[in-house]
Amino acid sequence: MTDLPYTVLSCAMSLDGYLDDASGKRLVLSNAADLDRVDAVRARCDAILVGAGTVRADNPRLLVRAEHRRARRVTEGRPPSPRKVTVTRHATFDPSAAFFATGDSERLVYCASRSVAGTRERLGAAATVVDAGADPSMCVVSEDLAGKGVRRLLVEGGQSVHTQFLSTGLADELHVVVAPFFVGDSRAHRVVADGPLPWNRSRRACLADVRRIGDVVLLRYALSDRFEQHEPTEEGP
Ligand SMILES: NC(=O)c1ccc[n+]([C@@H]2O[C@H](COP(=O)([O-])OP(=O)(O)OC[C@H]3O[C@@H](n4cnc5c(N)ncnc54)[C@H](OP(=O)(O)O)[C@@H]3O)[C@@H](O)[C@H]2O)c1
């Protein structure tokens, strides 16, 4: 059996643990230096996954931005940016969203069986729609991505997707950036949804690294035995 992709969960949160502010507009929690760090993390991955909610709310491009990182990937025989991946049950996507309309990397939409036909019709050539079964799970998605050659997967949210990767034990590492402000609105999304998670008061996660990046803090947690203590640098593997 092919190994599941090495999976990194990444998010930024407010001091009170929110991913957004319920305004319906994208909330920038990070700063320029940290966004550049995330760009470097993206550049090391084979695929970037976000939930359909994030595609709709944030309209992310999910591309590697820095030209030197794009060029290096091409030198290595890889596309300039990783594959883009999303998951959906209802598939209410706008095909002109940046997820579909920017960059040349392959776009994969893992879709509940009942929505596959309609989604293929709606998205046309903008994405490959994969039938992920009646009730898709992140395990099925990870296994399929592994079969497609994805060795390293970056999951960039949102709440629902992060919760599922964490609760099913599929995450190898977690990056949380803490922004220096509060949201103070319980209508916003917290980092994870309610419910039990494998890391709790009787099983504490392993804090592997803490880094100050300007006015934000990066917390890096090791969540599996596969955890890579030393992050690959930009200079070498
Ligand atoms: N601060 C950060 O770092 C950060 C990062 C990313 C996102 N966000 C924020 O997070 C919020 C979105 O969070 P969210 O929890 O609503 O959205 P999400 O996790 O991005 O996406 C949830 C959606 O994904 C699909 N989905 C989830 N699990 C599925 C499964 N097992 N099978 C099939 N489809 C599945 C469903 O799509 P359908 O509804 O289409 O069926 C579901 O509504 C946004 O406000 C965004 O700004 C913040």
Give the integer Cα–Cα distance in Å for 211 and 102: 32
**Is the pLDDT confidence value at 32 over 50?**
yes
More confident residue, 230 or 171: 171
pLDDT of residue 163: 98
| pLDDT tens-place string over residues 34-48 | 999 999 999 999 999
pLDDT over 70, % of the chain = 97
- Reported residue count of the chain is 237
CA nearest to 188, candidates 2, 4, 20, 16: 20
Q: Give the ligand 1 atom nearest the CA of 162.
A: 19
Confidence bin at 229 (pLDDT 50/70/90):
confident
* C-alpha 66 – ligand 1 centre gap (Å): 26
pLDDT of residue 50: 98
- The DSSP symbol for 169 reads T
Confidence bin at 91 (pLDDT 50/70/90):
confident
pLDDT of residue 230: 76
For ligand 1, atom 37, the nearest C-alpha belongs to 88
Q: What residues line ligand 1, using a CB cutoff of 6 Å? A: 11-12, 19-20, 26, 29, 50-54, 57-58, 87-92, 112, 136-137, 156-161, 164, 189
pTM for the model? 0.97
**Is the pLDDT confidence value at 237 over 50?**
no
Give the integer Cα–Cα distance in Å for 117 and 96: 19
**Is the pLDDT confidence value at 2 over 90?**
no
* C-alpha 74 – ligand 1 centre gap (Å): 30
Peptide bond just before 133 cis, omega within 30 deg: no
For ligand 1, atom 32, the nearest C-alpha belongs to 136
- The mean pLDDT of 199-213, rounded to a whole number, is 96
pLDDT of residue 206: 97
* C-alpha 222 – ligand 1 centre gap (Å): 23
For ligand 1, atom 16, the nearest C-alpha belongs to 53
Q: Do 160 and 133 meet the contact criterion of CB atoms below 8 Å apart?
A: no
Q: Distance of CA 194 to CAs 76, 206, 236, Å?
A: 42, 21, 40
Give the integer Cα–Cα distance in Å for 1 and 222: 24
- The mean pLDDT of 180-194, rounded to a whole number, is 97
**Is the pLDDT confidence value at 70 over 50?**
yes
Q: For the chain, which domains are there?
A: 6-222 (3.40.430.10)
Q: Give the ligand 1 atom nearest the CA of 88.
A: 34
pLDDT of residue 236: 53
pLDDT of residue 128: 97
Helices assigned H by DSSP within the chain: 32-43, 52-58, 67-75, 98-101, 116-123, 138-147, 159-167
Identity at 34, one-letter amino acid code? D
